[in-house]
Structure 1
């Protein structure tokens, strides 16, 4: 069977391009071009500080209309090259990010950092490896472990399904180097520090501090959005965000929502504390999750602030269920 016919057969069966080890040599093959999803429209990068940029999401959730571009890839321009923080949900988004970087600088991309294992933060790695096979891709070891245990395929399928197959052509491309947290390094005169506060949004969350600019890329550890807490910890998030609030930082860039000052962190703490402490009290009174929800929604912070966040009405119930499980685990451990 000819290679072109092989790939047509594979896609017809729904196999897709999901095996990086076997397909890596074919990244640049013209045979694959006809199987790629559509190009993602350019979104100009927003300059946050002297060296730091973000590319705003096209929506709060992945849809066919936004091509799965629902998080904010970031990048830091230094004299020696560009450091990218999270690469988006597909090769197409990664290619779009590269185009925006080239509008800002002709410096090469020298390092990628994936903040955690959810697919909108690493599936775009493919584009950067295609552009430079030797690029370093960093993540926490627990991120790599989760991806290798099946989260890689899960997130590919999730993004493919939610975009109506518009990430087609994306090759799963995992991080190849690790940060454990606490690392400090310099690239082209810009100082960086990596933080891992334990389990927050996931067990593998990394925060990337650009020390020179007093800025932190927070990943999904904080966001004015109610979406996914299944892999996280309330108590871990409250503790981690409390440490972040004490840092000498002027700018926090979440991967969902707008960059802001420490008020973003303080709101994140209050949101998590409101849910968790309320669930602790109401669980002790014997209430079910359905009974808890209207009581929690009536709390001042929830009515005045959180109710305006994307996903509040649809996902708050899931957040309460996760909080109940964590309360039970704490009670019986």
Structure 2
């Protein structure tokens, strides 16, 4: 059987291949032989004069939502478009490009990846295909993490969780870096980049669109309980405390809906509720499974956080991570 026919039959049978091009992630130098299905269009939401967000199709990656579980964003200016996060696949990146074309004929001049988790960068190659010289920015630690094996991990993760629907995605890393503190202007729209240290990951950057008083937050805050294993509770509390004092009207999370400073305050209270209670309960000698019901009884958890996707399934993992951070602080 020819290799092309093999992959077609394997995908049709739902064989759960990991990797989908020779059972490994594909890089730009490899020949493409097959491609997963097109992602349906999701209309962008205009958040401010220049700022847009494309809503996720679900809170977690599944075959039904094609791995479209985060909110890619873009900023339209008179001289070009700045894209913030490119989704989980080539196909999602292509869908983002179609949505941009509905609004403007301006080219994409910058792509920014907020951190190294796969739903924020795996769509990069769609933009390279469309604009071969496009600049793709991230923090250097994002690139370092990807080169250390996170690129393959996230490719495989998205393949597994979408039943191989990201097939055809080419791993394309950022080619420029931001350290935080940079300002730039595109078509009269002013931007500022922020890096607060270790928050959701050590590579998080947020993108302030100063002209619109909007900030794309990446995953530093979200109305969802997911992955905290690469992050820091204390770092999150400190970062969100700083963000809450900024002159920003609207915050755009990559999971959840845009909101005012209430989003930031809720995110900080969630992190504080877990971390401060874990500190106290750890001193009392409680285990993680003994802590969980006590923390779930706290008013914020009952009234607010319990409504977020992933609460029941993932809260225990957050507590385990908080315990590790408490122990690290004790012995530092």
TM-score (norm 2): 0.94
Separation in structure 1 between the aligned mates of residue 5 and residue 328 of structure 2, nearest angstrom: 48
Gaps of 5+ in 1: none
What is the correspondence of 1:53-132 to structure 2 with a 5 Å cutoff? 53-132=52-131
Aligned to 2:27: 20
Gaps of 5+ in 2: 11-16
Q: Report the alpha carbon displacement of residue 10 of structure 1 after superposing the two structures with TM.
A: 8.2
User: 1:11-67: CA deviations, max 9, x gaps?
Assistant: 9785534242523xx5xxxx63xx111110000000000000000000000000000
Name whichever structure is richer in helix by fraction.
Answer: 1
Separation in structure 2 between the aligned mates of residue 8 and residue 203 of structure 1, nearest angstrom: 42
Aligned to 1:321: 320
Aligned to 1:215: 214
Separation in structure 1 between the aligned mates of residue 258 and residue 282 of structure 2, nearest angstrom: 35
Q: Report the alpha carbon displacement of residue 8 of structure 1 after superposing the two structures with TM.
A: 6.0
Separation in structure 2 between the aligned mates of residue 15 and residue 66 of structure 1, nearest angstrom: 19
CA 1:14–1:313: 2 relative to 1, 3 Å: closer
Separation in structure 2 between the aligned mates of residue 134 and residue 19 of structure 1, nearest angstrom: 20
User: 1:75-96: CA deviations, max 9, x gaps?
Assistant: 0000110000000000000000
CA 1:36–1:232: 2 relative to 1, 3 Å: same
SS in 1 for 2:170: coil
Aligned length: 322
Q: Report the alpha carbon displacement of residue 126 of structure 1 after superposing the two structures with TM.
A: 1.1
TM-score (norm 1): 0.94
SS in 2 for 1:219: coil
Q: Report the alpha carbon displacement of residue 132 of structure 1 after superposing the two structures with TM.
A: 1.2
Aligned to 1:197: 196
User: 1:228-251: CA deviations, max 9, x gaps?
Assistant: 100000000000000000000000
Separation in structure 2 between the aligned mates of residue 153 and residue 325 of structure 1, nearest angstrom: 26
Separation in structure 2 between the aligned mates of residue 15 and residue 45 of structure 1, nearest angstrom: 30
Kindly report the root-mean-square deviation, in angstroms, between the aligned alpha carbons of the 2 structures: 1.5
Deviates more, 1:77-86 or 1:7-16: 7-16
User: 1:68-114: CA deviations, max 9, x gaps?
Assistant: 00000000000110000000000000000000000000000010000
